Structure 1
Amino acid sequence: MRLEHVNLVVSNLEKALHFYQAAFPHWRIRSKGSGQWFAKPRNWVHFGDDYNYIAFSDHGEGNNRTLEGHQVGLAHFAFEVKNISALIHRLVDAGYPIDKSGSNNPHRKNVYFIDPDGFEVEFVEYLSDLPFERNNDD
């Protein structure tokens, strides 16, 4: 089993794409279109590679949940990457500061960023192929 895509409702497609294109320069717009969602016009984009993508729709209103709060909702989602240092460099150069550094673990590196719509996105690079080391929080 694998997660194929995440569907995010955003306020601005260009701003969302700017963040995720900096994170994943090898991804592309797979498809796009427009329509209505419960009588509200929206544009949508599928941004990814041949196997995974993020679906964005631009009909979002209001603010995302407060990450420091206790509201029900998405806390964060994570992507495994092969070179976290290069990813950090691309995102910082694109104007996105690191929100939180990850835990100190000998078997993985991780970092958190906030995207333009307030979604917390974790990126993790595993330094071991052994599941018991990758999943160990000691």
Structure 2
Amino acid sequence: MYLEHVNLVVADIDAMLDFYGAAFPHWRVRDEGRGEWYGKPRKWVHFGDDDYYLALNDNGEGSNRDLSGHSVGLAHFAFVTNNLEAVVARLNRAGYAISAPGAEEPYRQNVYFIDPAGFEVEFVEYLSDIPAERNLNRDAQ
């Protein structure tokens, strides 16, 4: 079993495509269409590759949760990369800055960005193939 997609309600699909297109240049719009969600029209886009994608829906209203607060909701989601430096460089070139550095850990490096919809996105590169090392959190000891 694996996670295939995450469905996000956003205000601006094009801005999301810019951000995630910079992070994942090999991703493409897999499918798109229009529909209705609880009486409100919506446009949707599936953006990803043959295995994984983000479902983006444009009928969002209001603001995303305050990431510095304690409200219930999504804190962040993470993508694993084999070249964190390249992901950061692509996002920086596209105009996106790191929002927070990751913890200093011996077996991984990570950074956080805020996407155009206000979701916090972590990008992580593991420096070990040993699960016990990859999953080590020194602050949890």
TM over 0.5: same fold? yes
**Alignment of structure 1 residues 108-127 onto 2, 5 Å:** 108-127=108-127
What per-residue deviation string (whole Å, max 9, x for no partner) do you get for residues 114-136 of structure 1?
Answer: 00010000000001000000001
Counterpart of 1:25, as a letter, is P
The CA distance in 1 between the partners of 2:82 and 2:60, in whole Å, is 32
- Look up the SS of the partner of 1:34 in the other structure: strand
Per the TM alignment, residue 47 of structure 1 is displaced from its structure 2 partner at its CA by: 0.4
Counterpart of 1:132, as a letter, is A
How much identity, in percent, do the aligned residues show? 62
Structure 1: where are the runs of 5+ without partners? none
The CA distance in 2 between the partners of 1:36 and 1:69, in whole Å, is 32
- Aligned CA RMSD, in angstroms, stands at 0.6
Q: Which residue pairs with 1:39 in the alignment?
A: 39
Per the TM alignment, residue 86 of structure 1 is displaced from its structure 2 partner at its CA by: 0.2
The CA distance in 2 between the partners of 1:129 and 1:52, in whole Å, is 22
- Look up the SS of the partner of 2:82 in the other structure: coil
Q: Which residue pairs with 1:21 in the alignment?
A: 21
Counterpart of 2:121, as a letter, is V
Instruction: List structure 1 segments (4+ residues) > 2 angstroms apart after TM superposition.
Output: none
The CA distance in 2 between the partners of 1:37 and 1:121, in whole Å, is 26
The CA distance in 1 between the partners of 2:93 and 2:122, in whole Å, is 18
The CA distance in 1 between the partners of 2:70 and 2:42, in whole Å, is 29
TM-score of the two chains, using structure 2 as the length reference: 0.96
Q: Which residue pairs with 1:62 in the alignment?
A: 62
Counterpart of 1:129, as a letter, is D
Pairs aligned (count): 138
TM-score of the two chains, using structure 1 as the length reference: 0.98
